[in-house]
Amino acid sequence: MSSSSLIYLDYQATTPCDPRVLEKMMPYFKEIYGNPHSRNHDFGWKAEQGVEAARAQVAATIGADAKEIIFTSGATESNNLAIKGAAKFYSEKRHIITTQIEHKCVLASCRQLEREGWEITYLPVGKTGRIDLDQLKKAMRPDTLMVSVMAVNNEIGVIQPIEEIGAMCREKGVLFHTDAAQAVGKIPLDVKKMNIDLLSISGHKLYGPKGIGALYISRKPRVRLEALIHGGDQERGFRSGTLPTPLCVGLGEACALAQQEMESENSRIEGLRKQFLKKIFSSLSDVTLNGDEAYRIPGNINLSFAYVEGEGLMMGIKDLALSSGSACTSQSLESSYVLRALGVDDDLAPTSLRIGLGRFTTHEEVDYAADSICRAVLKLREMSPLWEMAQAGIDLRTVQWGQHH
Amino acid sequence: MSYSKRVIDHYENPSNVGSLNPEDKDVGTGLVGAPACGDVMKLQIKVNPSGHIEEAKFKTFGCGSAIASSSVVTEWLKGKTLEEAAQIKNADIASYLALPPVKIHCSVLAHEAISAAISDYSLKQAPKL
């Protein structure tokens, strides 16, 4: 799909903008450039029509009403607004429950509230990466304002039991926010059926443009938030600032396409995933799939390769654009708090790769990537003293290693 | 991270990957580093009766710079006496491979591996008390 020799396998980091989306956006850059908030002329009215049609498209994707959608700059802003905005508005309730594997923008918003006097419970996850509903129930208190649990994790692709969490929150009268940046267009979402009060959406994770996102804010029951950005009271006062018409239109079209094509796209990507895993597991031992096997989106593959160092591996697969993490504190790779929360065994010094497949990934690319990874891992294991020791039956956990550098 | 051409060459075609029998009396083995730090090097030397290093082998778990550092060291060790081998400095390795500051520890580790292999060999030669 591109002229470069790099193969793009990082669809959880971002997705390319779908050409059909871009095509819908172009007139709003060129001809329909009016301010959608201008009330006095056709330039403004046309722009407003574009924005409102897009709002309806976004709403339809998650079973919401258009009036319940506000546009933001992205999921980071949506998550900040949902969490801090609700905390500030309902400030008599001082407790929020989230998980240890949320995206950084949720964790950082919670940390900020902690500094301001709120109490936060960070639920652990099991080896599968899913939260335990009993633990959630036990964590709920009379002063619990909100539960914020992501629908799909960005590193391991694991899907949380959203409907069950929603039911539990509704029963207890607790707000339910979900960061659905990785979920919209990938799994069916229905905010009414799932009792979701607040839901964050990102444009660039679903083949839309970067710089746009949305927040669903339930009207029935009515959820209120204190705004973070003040100004001309656009977006019903929740989020001031002139709307970027082309980006709104792009997000709307991206949502509509994702909705229409979700089923066929998921089954195609699932095929690619199986093909990839079959190659990997038939050539390599000591490889683990991180996260639940059943509850996950097809486009995410997170694998740990034992006895292979991360940077060395990345150097061997230079023509693959993907993400690497490590549960250990290797020198230059960022250690992954998500993998650590899953209890990935760092005694075996594994390196994990996140292989993100998506709309434009081809069979050839998947084959090539799997072959390259197998070749690099085999070569590095041949060179790895840890692999040699493991093959000789030595338990690496019992070895006295040297001092840390 | 941009690697020097020499690092890339040694990463892609490393010299002297392999193992010698650590039980042999004429073999010295050094195992340094730790998995948790992201680097483990095993360096082995085989010393002939005239006191020269006849063979040097390595296995390294680590980044490209760590692999290149150990590969270079095995090349340099061959033919040297233990005294000469002990003269190899980590700065020699770092400058030969043009390692950036964040990768200096790879050359330090390779240097430690040489010392460890030499002392293992010397210990084996020392008369048993």
- Residue of A105, A110, A255, A328 marked active site: A328
Nearest CA in chain A to B12: A316
Model confidence pLDDT, tens digit, residues B80-94: 999 999 999 999 999
Among A199, A202, A203, which residue's Cα sits nearest to residue A165?
A199
Answer yes or no: B37 catalytic.
Answer: yes
Tell me the C-alpha distance between A384 and A393, whole Å: 15
Tell me the C-alpha distance between A327 and A160, whole Å: 22
Tell me the C-alpha distance between B87 and A310, whole Å: 32
Binning chain A into helix, strand and coil, the percentages to the nearest 5 are 40, 15, 40
Residue with the two structure tokens 């905010």 = A191
CB contact under 8 A, B63 and A331: yes
Q: Is A203 helix (H, G, I), strand (E, B) or coil?
A: coil
Cβ atoms < 10 Å from Cβ of A68: 22
Inter-residue contact A214 to A201 (CB < 8 Å): yes
Tell me the C-alpha distance between A371 and A271, whole Å: 17
Q: From chain A, which residues contact B within 8 Å (Cβ)?
A: 307-312, 315-316, 326, 328-333, 346-349, 380, 382-388, 396, 401-405
Query: Which residue among A348, A384, A403 places its CB closest to the CB of B59?
Result: A384
Tell me the C-alpha distance between A273 and A250, whole Å: 28
Answer yes or no: B63 catalytic.
Answer: no
- Give the CA dihedral A388, A392, A394, A396, nearest 10 degrees: 20
CB contact under 8 A, B63 and A332: yes
Query: Which residue among B11, B31, B108 places its CB closest to the CB of A385?
Result: B31
CB contact under 8 A, B63 and A347: no
The pTM assigned to this predicted structure is 0.93
> Which CATH number does A7-11+262-390 carry?
3.90.1150.10
Tell me the C-alpha distance between A319 and A339, whole Å: 25
Chain A within 8 Å of B59 (Cβ-Cβ)? yes
Give residue limits of the domains in chain A: 7-11+262-390, 19-258
- Strands A198-202 and A213-217 come out as antiparallel
**Rg of chain A, C-alpha, whole Å:** 23
Chain A within 8 Å of B101 (Cβ-Cβ)? no
CB contact under 8 A, A309 and B39: yes
Among A309, A383, A351, which residue's Cα sits nearest to residue B42?
A383
Among A98, A317, A316, A313, which residue's Cα sits nearest to residue A325?
A313
* Chain A residues near residue B1 by CB distance under 8 angstroms: 311, 332
- Residue of B63, B106, B108, B110 marked active site: B106
Both ends of chain A: CA-CA distance in Å? 43
Query: Which residue among B1, B19, B67 places its CB closest to the CB of A388?
Result: B19
Residues 6+ positions from A150 with CB-CB distance below 8 Å: A99, A101, A102, A103, A106, A160, A178, A179, A180, A181, A182, A183
Q: What pLDDT score does A326 carry?
A: 62
Q: Would you give per-residue pLDDT tens digits along chain B (129 residues)?
A: 578 999 999 999 999 999 999 999 999 999 999 988 889 999 999 999 999 999 999 999 999 999 999 999 999 999 999 999 999 999 999 999 999 998 999 999 999 999 999 999 999 998 776
Query: Which residue among B38, B42, B112 places its CB closest to the CB of A331?
Result: B38
- Is the confidence metric ipTM above 0.90 for this complex? yes
Q: What pLDDT score does B50 carry?
A: 94
Q: What pLDDT score does B36 carry?
A: 80
Inter-residue contact B82 to B121 (CB < 8 Å): yes
- Strands A95-99 and A7-8 come out as unpaired
CB contact under 8 A, A383 and B59: yes
Inter-residue contact B53 to B27 (CB < 8 Å): no
Chain A within 8 Å of B35 (Cβ-Cβ)? yes
Q: Would you give per-residue pLDDT tens digits along chain A (405 residues)?
A: 444 689 999 999 999 999 999 999 999 999 999 999 999 999 999 999 999 999 999 999 999 999 999 999 999 999 999 999 999 999 999 999 999 999 999 999 999 999 999 999 999 999 999 999 999 999 999 999 999 999 999 999 999 999 999 999 999 999 999 999 999 999 999 999 999 999 999 999 999 999 999 999 999 999 999 999 999 999 999 999 999 999 999 999 999 999 999 999 999 999 999 999 999 999 999 999 999 999 999 999 999 999 999 889 999 999 999 998 765 544 556 678 898 899 887 666 788 999 999 999 999 999 999 999 999 999 999 999 999 999 999 988 888 887 655
Q: Dmax of chain A from CA atoms?
A: 80
Among B6, B2, B5, which residue's Cα sits nearest to residue B15?
B6
Q: What pLDDT score does A3 carry?
A: 43
To the nearest whole angstrom, how far is the Cα of B78 from the nearest Cα of chain A?
19
* Chain A residues near residue B17 by CB distance under 8 angstroms: 382-383
CB contact under 8 A, A385 and B3: no
To the nearest whole angstrom, how far is the Cα of B43 from the nearest Cα of chain A?
10
Chain A within 8 Å of B40 (Cβ-Cβ)? yes
Q: What pLDDT score does A328 carry?
A: 54
- Strands B39-47 and B27-34 come out as antiparallel
Both ends of chain B: CA-CA distance in Å? 51
CB contact under 8 A, B40 and A308: no
- Identify from A286, A311, A379 which residue to disrupt to test chain B contact, counting B C-beta atoms within 10 A and taking the largest count: A311
Q: Is A176 helix (H, G, I), strand (E, B) or coil?
A: strand
- Residue of B19, B22, B25, B37 marked active site: B37
Would you identify the CATH topology of the domain A19-258?
Aspartate Aminotransferase; domain 2 (3.40.640)
Q: Residue A142, preceding bond cis, omega within 30 degrees?
A: no
Inter-residue contact A297 to A187 (CB < 8 Å): yes
